[in-house]
């Protein structure tokens, strides 16, 4: 019988066990696609001495971050794996990312000793919300075009003129920034915005793209894009599919059409269920496989695919398939997007609970804002494309569900999850995520253009006002916020659909 760490699930029972036994919790935030997570499992968590200490003196909890993004967002230590030590109440004692065996032994002993002797000061780190109440008359004086200009300046300050992209290293794709650049180019005809967007797309294609099986890797360790981490994520490819399709729409340059079409080919072949509908979550990072030549790859087994359907990521890809299909006149892409919508409505939606987060044979983890908001957005895309009365009914239904269960009527903005009686740790505290709220503003402005219901516009306005005092703190990641502001102030410029 193999001796290993006795992992528990994130649950009220696990926290009660820690409290009754008066032991600290070891939280391992991991992912199926994560290379260093696998390394830590095969080294640190397979070390006999480490196993003995953990099983005897800690309550170990393993959480897969794709399945529980709400836990990920509250306990992330700056990367994955995240190795986090908690009190039985769920407050953070200490944390790191990847920890090799010898270092982990020392860390375990230090936390155990400090906890036992009460020598560490355990301060409650409540990740709550900064309540800023604004009057509605502030909307015109505060939320105006100056915001868009400031975000564009932040973007230009961080643009890498040598290789494209933003920042130095590691270098991640940021599809939302490309969205803002394309919108501003269409609005102003400023070639600088187009040049930045296209140089970034060209740089990513040069270094971050799988030129044999297609699709984009998650990010590059280096500034020049040429040392990828080889996992392929559904959400990354959804954003970049949207970007390259839009680049073709604007430039009519066939290379962008070709890349977009190849992403579709990769997703159809490797990250989707073509029979039933639905998109899979990710494909593993396998450095050895991706460094093989074309002839060698033919004989090797493809890296593992996580066939879990994550609803928010599925919704992102649905919207991107619809955009691609509309721009490239590809009816099959649109048909598969609609097919996936129907699958999610059948398997992952409950009128009283909203959308669940993931489906792996059964629906799981309901009550997250992202699933409801991104799926609502994909329904709006589908409605504008297919004009289905059934989709319009679901749009109104889900919009009402979001306003009822996530919107803060008192102080405005949207909470990232519905609070539940079984919540433990800092899940018990409300959190308003800037990026999610920025996207909420976009979706509710789109809803207002469709429904003409004042409450939809009001929710968007109030959300933008809520983050007015803090949006500059996010640098160029405020691109989505700037897009929402532009939509509010100028009614935006629509790119198909």
The CATH code of the domain at 12-117 is 3.40.30.10
Whether the CB-CB separation of 193 and 185 falls below 8 Å is answered with yes
- Using alpha carbons, select from 473, 409, 396 the residue that is nearest to residue 438: 473
Report the largest interatomic distance among the alpha carbons of the chain, rounded to a whole angstrom: 68
pLDDT (0 to 100) of residue 2: 56
Q: Could you report the per-residue pLDDT of 163-181, keeping only the tens digit for each?
A: 999 999 999 999 999 999 9
Residues 66, 64: Cα–Cα separation, whole Å: 6
Identify the residue whose tokens are 């269960």: 405
- Is the CB of residue 460 less than 8 Å from the CB of residue 440? yes
- CB contact burial 212-232 (16+ within 10 A = b; e otherwise): ebbbbbbbbeebbbebbbbbb
Write down the pLDDT at residue 117: 78
Beta-carbon count within 10 A of 294 CB: 9
Q: Which residues of the chain have pLDDT under 50?
A: 1, 123-127
Count of all residues that appear for the chain in the document: 497
**What CA–CA distance (Å, rounded) separates 479 from 210?**
27
Q: Are 12-117 and 138-490 in the same CATH fold?
A: no
- 3-class DSSP assignment, residue 491: coil
pLDDT at 1: 38
347-395 pLDDT, tens digit each = 999 999 999 999 999 999 999 999 999 999 999 999 999 887 889 999 9
Residue 307: closest CA among 342, 272, 261, 277: 272
Side-chain-side CA neighbours of 246 within 13 Å: the count stands at: 29
* CB proximity list for 240: less than 8 A, separation 6 or greater: 173, 175, 204, 216, 263
Find the Cα–Cα–Cα–Cα dihedral 195, 196, 197, 199, rounded to 10°: 80
Q: DSSP for 269-313, please give it.
A: HHSB-TTT--B--EE---HHHHTS-HHHHTTSPPPPEE--EEHHH
| Nearest partner of 259 among 314, 296, 191, 204, judged by Cα | 204
Tell me if the pTM is above 0.85: yes
Instruction: Provide the CATH number for the domain formed by 138-490 in this structure.
Output: 1.50.10.10
Strand pairing of 92-96 and 349-350?
unpaired
What would the two tokens of residue 49 be?
Answer: 């001495």
Domain ranges of the chain: 12-117, 138-490
C-alpha count within 13 angstroms, C-beta hemisphere, residue 468:
23
> How many CB atoms neighbour CB 332 within 10 A?
11
pLDDT score of 135: 59
Q: What is the pLDDT of residue 46?
A: 97
pLDDT at 490 (0 to 100): 87
């Amino acid at each position: 019988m193999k001796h290993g760490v006795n992992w528990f699930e994130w649950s009220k029972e696990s926290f009660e066990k820690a409290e009754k036994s008066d032991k600290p919790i070891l939280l391992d935030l991991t992912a199926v696609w994560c290379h260093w997570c696998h390394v830590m499992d095969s080294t640190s968590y397979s070390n006999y001495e480490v196993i003995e200490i953990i099983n005897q003196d800690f309550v170990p909890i393993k959480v897969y971050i794709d399945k529980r993004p709400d836990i990920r967002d509250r306990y992330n230590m700056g990367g994955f794996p995240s190795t986090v030590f908690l009190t039985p109440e769920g407050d953070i004692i200490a944390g790191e990312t990847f920890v090799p065996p010898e270092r982990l032994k020392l860390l375990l002993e230090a936390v155990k000793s400090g906890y036992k002797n009460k020598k560490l000061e355990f301060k409650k780190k409540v990740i709550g919300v900064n309540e800023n109440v604004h009057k509605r008359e502030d909307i015109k004086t505060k939320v105006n075009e100056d915001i868009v200009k400031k975000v564009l300046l932040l973007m230009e300050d961080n643009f890498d003129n040598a290789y494209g992209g933003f920042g130095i290293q590691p270098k991640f794709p940021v599809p939302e920034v490309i969205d803002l650049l394309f919108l501003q180019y269409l609005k102003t005809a400023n070639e600088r915005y187009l040049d930045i967007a296209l140089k970034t797309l060209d740089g990513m294609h040069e270094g971050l793209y799988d030129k044999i099986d297609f699709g984009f890797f998650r990010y590059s360790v280096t500034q020049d894009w040429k040392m990828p981490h080889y996992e392929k994520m559904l959400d990354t490819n959804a954003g970049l599919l949207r970007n390259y399709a839009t680049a073709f729409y604007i430039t009519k340059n066939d290379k962008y059409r070709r890349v977009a079409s190849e992403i579709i080919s990769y997703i159809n072949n490797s990250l989707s269920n073509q029979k039933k509908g639905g998109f899979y979550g990710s494909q593993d990072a396998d450095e050895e496989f991706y460094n093989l030549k074309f002839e060698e790859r033919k004989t090797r087994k493809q890296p593992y695919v996580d066939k879990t359907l994550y609803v928010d990521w599925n919704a992102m890809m649905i919207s991107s398939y619809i955009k691609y299909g509309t721009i490239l006149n590809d009816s099959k892409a649109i048909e598969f997007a609609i097919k996936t919508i129907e699958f999610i409505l059948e398997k992952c939606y409950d009128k009283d609970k909203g959308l669940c987060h993931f489906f792996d044979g059964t629906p799981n983890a309901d009550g997250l804002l992202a699933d409801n908001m991104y799926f609502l957005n994909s329904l709006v895309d589908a409605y504008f494309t297919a004009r289905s009365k059934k989709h319009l009914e679901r749009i109104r239904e889900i919009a009402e569900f979001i306003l009822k269960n996530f919107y803060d009527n008192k102080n405005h903005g949207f909470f990232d999850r519905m609070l539940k009686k079984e919540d433990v740790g800092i899940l018990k505290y409300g959190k308003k995520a800037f990026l999610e709220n920025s996207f909420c503003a976009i979706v509710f402005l789109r809803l207002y253009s469709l429904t003409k219901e004042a409450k939809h516009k009001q929710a968007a306005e109030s959300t933008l006002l809520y983050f007015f005092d803090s949006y500059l703190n996010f640098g160029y990641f405020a691109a989505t916020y700037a897009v929402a502001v532009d939509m509010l102030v100028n009614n935006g410029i629509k790119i198909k659909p």
